Structure formats: C-alpha cells, structure tokens
C-alpha cells in the first residue's frame, strides 16, 4: 500500500532530492508540498520546488507557499548572509530549467490545516525545513495536533551542530516553532537528526549510478549530490572526504521503510534562550527528565541509518519507469 505524505520544504539541494524521492517512489504518494523560509527566501524555495516538480514530470503536485520568517522572531537568530556555508551548499536558485508552474496559494498553513482536517486516509507530515508553518498550524487550529497521524522531522542533532556548535540549521532557524512542535503532543513524531543523516552520506560513485539512469530525476540528483560533495569537502568535510549527506531525503526514506533508521523513543526539548545553544535539541538519552521532571518520551530519535538501503530507494525511484 502506498503511503501518503505532505512535504514541508525550504528547497535547497537536499530538499530537492527529498521531493523527487517522495514524488517518484512507488511506495509513496506525495499529496502536496508547502514551502517555508529557510535555506533561501520562501519565494526562492517555492520556485525551486516548482522547478523540481516540473523537471521530473510531476507538475500536478500542488505547492503552497508558507511563512516568510520565523514565528516569533523578525529573522533567524542571526540574519541570513549570502556566501555563508548554507548558501554555498544550496545557492538561492537550483540549476534546473525555468518553469511556468505557479504556487496554488500563499497560504500553506491554511492548506495544511484544511488538508489534515478533511483527510479520509492517513497522511504523514514530513517537515524538512524550519518548523514555522507547522507551529503556525498548531497555533491556528487546536485540532491540528490530533488530525495529523504522524510527523517525520529532518532536524536537530545529538552530537554536534551544523549551523552553530550546538544547533542544527532547521531547528536553529526557528527555535520557538521547533519547541512548539516537539511539545505539542502529536501521536507519533520521528526525528531524523544529523547523527543519522551523516551515516547515510553518499559519494560520487552513488551520483554516477543515479546519473546513469538517464532520467531527469537521476540526472538532477547526481548534479545536486556532486555539488554537495564539493561543498562539504571544502567547508564541512566529513571524516571520509568525498561524501555528503542528503539529510532531507533520509526523512522521506524512513516512510518507505522505517528500518532505514535506528531509533530510540526519548524526550526531546528545544533550547530557545541560550546565547551559545539556541536551537539545540536536548535529547534525554539517559532518561533524566522522566525520572526527575516527569516528562515522558515524545519522539523516536534516529541515531543510526543504513546507507545501502537509503541509496537503494533513491536508485529505484530515479530509474526509468517500465
Ligand atoms: C537541514 O538544513 C538545511 O540546510 C537542509 O536542507 C536540511 O534540511 C540540514 O541541517
Ligand atoms: Ca531542508
């Protein structure tokens, strides 16, 4: 049975691969995309999302544009600067042909609320950017939390940050929104943090194999992966050079087969005030909060990932359809 999902994206290079996996894998049905300010402005994220869907021949998947800034702050904890590490990994515009497709609305939050309110089948919500749209939906609709059966978040980290020493970008970019989402009481929340996505990092040989399919998705994924490898090698090298994570696509892969990640059910909170630690996901690996503050587990946190299985999903999704 196919699994339905809505992707909330700040399309960048890894979001683009996540969109293609969600749109093209036989076991998934991408119901729609919502966009959010993140890797680049929300307008660029929307255009990038539409370009991806058009390029891979899935123009009917609706795209709704969302929030232009975090829910409580005028800007990220520090304003975005062109030329910073994130913009070098993604760039403002993806290198794909222009599209005439347009967003269906500028009200992603309303789209999320209405779609989950009226859903007759289960739809998973997969946010892979800052959590601004999701927090806004929670604030506007008291039933949103119970209408969404499952949330799979790419974000956070246990070991180290990528935007600051303490924080991963998606959580750092709207920490108040992230704190709301983790504290909301969704039925099932899975978090795919950097700790897992780095274990599923891919290399040039993987890109070559995707490119060899000759499909638009295979060629685009190869372009994005090669760009990411070059960027990571120059600014955030992995222990083995020549590899780069495709964070957001791993969150989508976890819907195809949960065993692609190894999870533990733990309590997760988000730091919103620390001057050095704002945006840090505080993961209670030793179950201290439950014992002393009575905060129960709220999240299935991925600490590991299976690179080969992850790649096999990309490989099958981006191969020519029979
Ligand atoms: C996350 O931040 C963004 O730059 C990526 O698209 C991904 O969602 C990784 O920290
Ligand atoms: Ca993203």
At 270-280, the pLDDT tens digits run 999 999 999 99
Question: What is the CATH code for 3-317?
Answer: 3.90.245.10
Tell me, yes or no, if 247 is annotated catalytic.
Answer: yes
Q: What is the mean pLDDT of residues 84-107?
A: 88
Atom of ligand 1 nearest to the CA of 163: 10
Reading the block at residue 149, the tokens are 């059966």
Reading the block at residue 208, the tokens are 């070559």
pLDDT band at 102 (very low <50, low <70, confident <90, very high): very high
Q: What is the mean pLDDT of residues 259-284?
A: 97
Q: What is the mean pLDDT of residues 211-239?
A: 96
Q: What is the pLDDT of residue 129?
A: 98
Task: Tell me which residue has tokens 């190894």.
Answer: 262
Q: What is the pLDDT of residue 30?
A: 98
Per-domain boundaries in the chain: 3-317
Distances 108 to 49, 67, 84, 185 between C-alpha atoms, Å: 14, 8, 28, 22
Catalytic residue among 64, 90, 247, 267: 247
Q: What is the pLDDT of residue 19?
A: 98
Distance 66 CA to ligand 1 centre (A): 17
At 146-189, the pLDDT tens digits run 999 999 999 999 999 999 999 999 999 999 999 999 999 999 99
Measure the CA dihedral 118/139/13/261, to 10°.
-80
Q: Using CA atoms, how far apart are residues 277 and 299, in angstroms rounded to an integer?
A: 20
Distance 261 CA to ligand 1 centre (A): 18
Residue 158 CB coordination number (10 Å):
20
Residue 259 CB coordination number (10 Å):
10
Task: Return the ligand number nearest the Cα of 195.
Answer: 1
Distance 129 CA to ligand 1 centre (A): 6
Q: Would the pLDDT of 89 be above 90?
A: no
Q: Using CA atoms, how far apart are residues 114 and 198, in angstroms rounded to an integer?
A: 35
Are the CB atoms for 167 and 280 separated by under 8 Å? Answer: yes
Measure the CA dihedral 219/86/93/19, to 10°.
50
Q: Helices (DSSP H) in 187-215: which residue ranges?
A: 194-197, 204-212
pTM for the predicted model, two decimal places: 0.97
Q: What is the mean pLDDT of residues 52-59?
A: 98
Distances 194 to 112, 169, 205, 319 between C-alpha atoms, Å: 26, 10, 22, 27
Pocket lined around ligand 1, Cβ cut-off 6 Å: 12, 14-15, 39, 86, 128-129, 154, 162, 168-170, 247-248
DSSP tag of 200: G
Ligand 1: residue whose CA is nearest its atom 4:
39
Distance 260 CA to ligand 2 centre (A): 19
Ligand 1: residue whose CA is nearest its atom 10:
169
Q: What is the pLDDT of residue 135?
A: 98
């Amino acid at each position: 049975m196919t699994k339905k999902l809505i992707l909330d994206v700040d399309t960048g290079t890894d979001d683009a691969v996540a969109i293609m996996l969600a749109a093209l894998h036989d076991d998934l049905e991408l119901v729609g995309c919502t966009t959010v300010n993140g890797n680049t402005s929300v307008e660029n994220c929307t255009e990038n999302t539409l370009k991806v869907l058009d390029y891979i021949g899935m123009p009917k998947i609706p795209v709704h544009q969302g929030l232009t800034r975090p829910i409580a702050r005028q800007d990220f904890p520090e304003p975005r600067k062109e030329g910073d590490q994130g913009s070098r990994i993604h760039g403002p515009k993806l290198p794909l042909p222009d599209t005439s497709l347009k967003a269906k609305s500028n009200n992603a939050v309303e789209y999320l609320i209405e779609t989950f309110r009226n859903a007759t089948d289960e739809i998973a919500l997969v946010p892979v950017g800052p959590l601004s749209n999701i927090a806004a939906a929670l604030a506007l609709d008291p039933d949103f939390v119970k209408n969404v059966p499952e949330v799979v978040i790419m974000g956070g980290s246990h070991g180290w940050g990528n935007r600051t020493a303490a924080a991963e970008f998606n959580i750092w970019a709207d920490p108040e929104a992230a704190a709301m989402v983790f504290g909301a009481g969704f039925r099932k929340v899975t978090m795919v943090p950097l700790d897992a996505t780095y274990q599923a990092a891919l290399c040039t040989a993987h890109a070559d194999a995707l490119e060899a399919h000759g499909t638009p998705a295979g060629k685009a994924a190869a372009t994005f992966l090669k760009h990411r490898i070059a960027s990571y090698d120059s600014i955030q090298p992995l222990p083995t050079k020549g590899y780069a994570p495709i964070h957001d696509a791993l969150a989508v892969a976890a819907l195809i087969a949960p065993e692609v990640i190894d999870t533990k059910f733990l309590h997760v909170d988000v730091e919103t005030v620390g001057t050095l630690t704002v945006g840090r996901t505080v993961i209670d690996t030793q179950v201290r909060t439950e014992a002393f503050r009575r905060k129960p587990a709220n999240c299935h946190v991925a600490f590991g990932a299976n690179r080969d299985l992850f790649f096999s999903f990309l490989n099958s999704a981006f191969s020519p359809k029979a």
